[in-house]
């Protein structure tokens, strides 16, 4: 977990001066404040869509009725002594509270840290934004984040309650 936190803290110096007074100057700050940890789980089946995590996670959530999550995946790093790196990512939670990642191959992510979005919040903000990424940059690094949430606060109704059957993090 310390490695993931260090990866997310990496974003802090990149914040434009105009964002420094915001409640969450970066998406990473939002995840640090409200995110939940999830252990990887075997892919439950079907074709995966590498490189299309946001669209694939929405499609899976819509098809299966599962919870869409946005946050970070802790992945192996090729940066010398740094064993892991945190990347913005989207995945789903099954009805049992297990990760279902429609984009990354099994065993690739060591840990997930993110926000399980309530269906109404996801639909409203996806539509308003016109993009598959609800809270983060997604595939377009020049797209503005969902600034209202970062500037003010994550609404109490934005996240689903903790899943009682979610597997523990080891």
Separation of alpha carbons 164 and 152, rounded Å: 29
Query: Which sequence spans correspond to the domains of the chain?
Result: 2-151
User: Residue 59 pLDDT more than 90?
Assistant: yes
Angle subtended at Cα 167 by Cα 50 and Cα 149, rounded to the nearest 5 degrees:
60
Question: Where does 10-118 have alpha helices with state H?
Answer: 27-34, 53-64
Cα separation, 118 vs 161, in Å, equals 9
**pLDDT at residue 7 in the model:** 58
- Banded pLDDT at 70 (limits 50, 70, 90): very high
The two three-digit tokens of residue 82, written as one number: 């740094």
In order, the DSSP letters of 128-151 are HHTSS-SSS-TT-TTSPP-HHHHH
**170 has pLDDT over 50:** no
Residue 158: per-residue pLDDT: 93
| CA pair distance 120, 126, nearest whole angstrom | 10
Task: Encode pLDDT of 108-153 as tens digits.
Answer: 898 999 999 999 999 988 887 777 888 886 555 555 555 678 888 8
Global confidence as pTM = 0.84
Of the candidates 35, 47, 41, 25, which has an alpha carbon nearest to the alpha carbon of residue 5?
35
Mean pLDDT, the chain, as a whole number? 81
What is residue 116's DSSP assignment?
E
Q: Are strands 99-100 and 36-38 parallel, antiparallel or unpaired?
A: unpaired
Using the predicted structure, report yes or no on whether residue 57 has a pLDDT greater than 70.
yes
Q: How many angstroms separate the CA atoms of 35 and 28, rounded? A: 9
List b or e across 91-112, with b for residues whose CB sees 16 or more CB atoms inside 10 angstroms.
bbbbeebbbbbbbbeeeebebb
């Amino acid at each position: 977990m310390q490695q993931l936190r260090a990866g997310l803290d990496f974003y802090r110096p990149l914040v434009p001066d105009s964002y420094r007074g915001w409640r969450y100057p970066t998406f990473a700050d939002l995840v640090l404040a409200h995110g939940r940890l999830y252990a990887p789980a075997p892919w439950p089946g079907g074709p995966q869509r590498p490189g299309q995590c946001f669209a694939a996670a929405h499609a899976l959530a819509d098809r299966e009725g599962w919870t869409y999550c946005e946050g970070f995946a802790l992945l192996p790093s090729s940066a010398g002594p740094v064993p892991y790196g945190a990347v913005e990512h989207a995945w789903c939670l099954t009805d049992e509270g297990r990760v279902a990642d429609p984009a990354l191959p099994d065993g690739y992510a060591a840990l997930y840290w993110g926000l399980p979005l309530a269906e109404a919040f996801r639909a409203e903000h996806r539509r308003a934004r016109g993009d598959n990424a609800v809270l983060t940059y997604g595939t377009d690094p020049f797209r503005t984040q969902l600034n209202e949430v970062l500037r003010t606060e994550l609404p109490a109704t934005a996240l689903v309650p903790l899943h009682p059957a979610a597997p523990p993090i080891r």
